[in-house]
Structure 1
Amino acid sequence: MRYARTSDLITLALRMQGSAEGLSLADIMGQFEVSRSTAERMRNALRDALPQIEERGEPGGEKRWRLPGRCLGGMTQPTAEDITTLHRARELAAREGDEATATGLEVLADRLQAAMPAPTRNRLAPDIAALLEADGVALRPGPRERIAPEILNTLRDAILAGVWVNVDHRARASGKLSRDVWLGPLAMLMGEGRQYLVAWSEYQDDVRLFALAGFARIELSDEVFERPEEFDLQAYLSRSFGIFQEELQEVVWRFTPEAAAEARQFLFHPTQQMEEEPDGSLTVRFRAGGLLEMCWHLFRWSDRVKVLAPEALREMYGEILERALTINSQREGSNQHA
């Protein structure tokens, strides 16, 4: 039985040509999320169409397949969608305050366009402009923190070089400025809203989060930082609903029948389980810390969600709602002399 999905075969051919060592069956299975038998059919179909494919053996018996350069001709030229994707990524990086990545993506897009034959470039230009206008990423409103580009650039250099940094950092919660702190940067958590550095703290002798907006000074050192072998970023992040690291809690939310359809489209947490209720409501269960961040998210659902567990989350959410109601019910100036 042949594999007939042309788009997947084209993508596989491009990846075989773009890989220095070639792709194994395990690589094909993982990248395309297919079974081993399907991966074998994809490889066989491509070998039938492109006999130039090279087979390479490795110690241990694993075989890999690679397509030599220039075999695909014009198929490797970027498309309007490819250029637009880079521009979209550039706008998203700029929105997050990551100007270094934004600039790099813009340069890459310009290089790809410059490498195109002039007739192709001229033909695609109107399509690229139309796709960018329709995308609207750059115009999307939303709050974000302003992070100095030199802070991000220095931290990126430290992560890539694997060295310690010496910093002055102001804690977000207390406002206290800690001077001459030694950190081993592991990763930057960028995105909408608050942004953080995941780093090893010499003082705490553990991994901690540091608000990127809190860095008052940062200097690279020449001393090598050895990343903890047992540290796994994804495992670290999966413990939390958002960023804050807390003790794991069994969380249960119930969305009203009116909100159920929308809630089904959300991945609230990697461990979540969803249960359909007889009345049309939806129960979501997951295990995570970060109760305050859960409260922030629950605000968006208004009266269409009920917190069933844990009790600490229900109490915290109620207290925040009460405080918000109190401060917004006061007239301006009524509490200035209290």
Structure 2
Amino acid sequence: MFERDNREDEAAELVTLAAKLKALMKPDVARRVEPDLEALLEAEGLAMRPGPRPMIDTDLVQELRQAMITCSKVKLRYRNRRTRQANERIVHPYAFLHGHRNYLIAWHEHPKANKVALFALPHIEAVDATGEPFVRDPGFQLQDFAARSFGLFQDEPFQTAWKFAPDAADDAAEFLFHPSQAQERLPDGSLIVRFVAASELEMAWHLYAWGDKVEVLEPQKLAEMVNPGRVAWPALP
């Protein structure tokens, strides 16, 4: 935005300030605020996130954001991805979860549900305010909820271990695959990364990009999904 308005000096100052803030932070704190700094730079027109992404109605997102801030129940018209049928659902909006898809995290108010659930933002066709307040579940913590998964899918977390080849180890060491990860360098230069999360499918999607430079050591189910189909790609992710 600053650059578009011929305000290059202010644009440069903002980028420099972001870099200084990150440099002054402890590594664990910097990792937590990194997405916020990226969002700030994107909003100011100083950064771009390339690649495919779902199309989302920003007006609906704004309505949900307002409901989160005011703790107000909303009625969603939500389309099921498999059946393509749309139904109305009363939810308590808690937060958004962003990844290869974008989701609303909300308490689903229904006799057969009454639990925190994910709703894909592109499948929300309408949002109507009910005028009724809700009380957030005091036991819900967004960071804990997100940490259960490697990506977005919520399932039972499991221990996983990936071994990166010596010529890919330095690149892999620059990735934060999961907040709980631990890294181990082996004498031959290879790197083992271990962490606890779900799900196998999202891990497999990512691991295919590393081709024959990674081997899944555990669990067996993930190893069977990934190891036989590894490809020698001409570059690393």
TM score, norm. by length of structure 1: 0.55
Q: Count residues in correspondence.
A: 202
Of 125, 149, 174, 1:216 maps to 125
Aligned residue in 2 for 1:202: 109
Aligned residue in 2 for 1:256: 165
Distance in 2, matches of 1:217 and 1:278, equals: 56
**1:67-86 map, 5 Å:** 80-82=12-14
**1:1-338 map, 5 Å:** 80-82=12-14, 89=39, 92=42, 102=43, 137-138=47-48, 141-172=50-81, 174-191=82-99, 193-203=100-110, 204-317=113-226, 321=229
Q: Would the aligned equivalents of 1:164 and 1:224 in 2 still touch at CA under 8 Å?
A: yes
Q: Would the aligned equivalents of 2:15 and 2:41 in 1 still touch at CA under 8 Å?
A: no
Q: Would the aligned equivalents of 1:146 and 1:213 in 2 still touch at CA under 8 Å?
A: yes
Cα offsets for 1:227-284 (capped at 9, x unmatched) = 0011000011111111111111110100000110111111111111111112111111
Rg: which structure is higher? Answer: 1
Q: 5+ unaligned residues in a row in structure 2: which ranges?
A: 1-9, 19-36, 231-237
Aligned identity (percent) is 41
Greater RCO, 1 or 2 (C-alpha within 8 Å, sep 6+)? 2
Structure whose residues are more often strand by fraction: 2
Distance in 2, matches of 1:79 and 1:149, equals: 25
4+ aligned runs moved over 2 Å, structure 1: 82-92, 175-178, 315-319
TM score, norm. by length of structure 2: 0.77
Structure whose residues are more often helix by fraction: 1
SS of 1:259's equivalent in the other structure is helix
Q: 5+ unaligned residues in a row in structure 1: which ranges?
A: 1-77, 93-101, 107-131, 323-338
